[in-house]
Amino acid sequence: RAWIAFLGVFKKVLLEAAPSVYVSIVFSGLLYDHMEPLTRVRVLLTVAFSIATILQKAVKCFGLGLLANIVGAFLILLAVGSGIKLVMTCVCQSHIFLLTSMRCLEDMASPTSF
């Protein structure tokens, strides 16, 4: 029974919800300047609730075995990374934040940013 619950989380969250949240954040960053303020709020709230759902499902993975614990930890990392990107979408001038370098896209263009 626990394995069936884990497979449901694996399929629905790791393979569907997490990538969808990440793509939604990237596309909202690309279109940020063209969105109405109410649309921005709606997108931010939708993505925030999706991140909360991912965290809730990640917590359910713990205690179901080693593989489930690994997937749960990975989901938490994805949710935290998505949360950082979501917040930085509003802060960065380009509205694109790169997690690999922990910088806004416009900061990467200047040679003195290293």
How confident is the model at residue 12, as a pLDDT? 76
Burial of 53 (0-12, 13-18, 19+ CB in 10 A): middle
Q: Where are the beta strands (DSSP E) in the chain?
A: 97-98, 103-104
Q: What does the alpha-carbon distance between residue 104 and residue 54 come to, in Å, rounded to a whole number? A: 25
Task: Evaluate if pTM is beyond 0.95.
Answer: no
- Quick one: the chain helix, strand, coil %, rounded to 5? 80, 5, 15
Inter-CA distances, 113 with 93, 104, 106, 107, 108, Å: 15, 10, 10, 6, 7
What's the chain's length in residues?
114
How confident is the model at residue 36, as a pLDDT? 92
How confident is the model at residue 109, as a pLDDT? 59
Q: What is the pLDDT along the chain (114 residues), one digit of tens a residue?
A: 666 767 777 777 777 788 888 888 888 888 888 889 999 899 889 999 999 988 888 888 888 788 888 888 988 998 998 899 888 888 888 888 888 888 888 766 566 554
Burial of 109 (0-12, 13-18, 19+ CB in 10 A): exposed
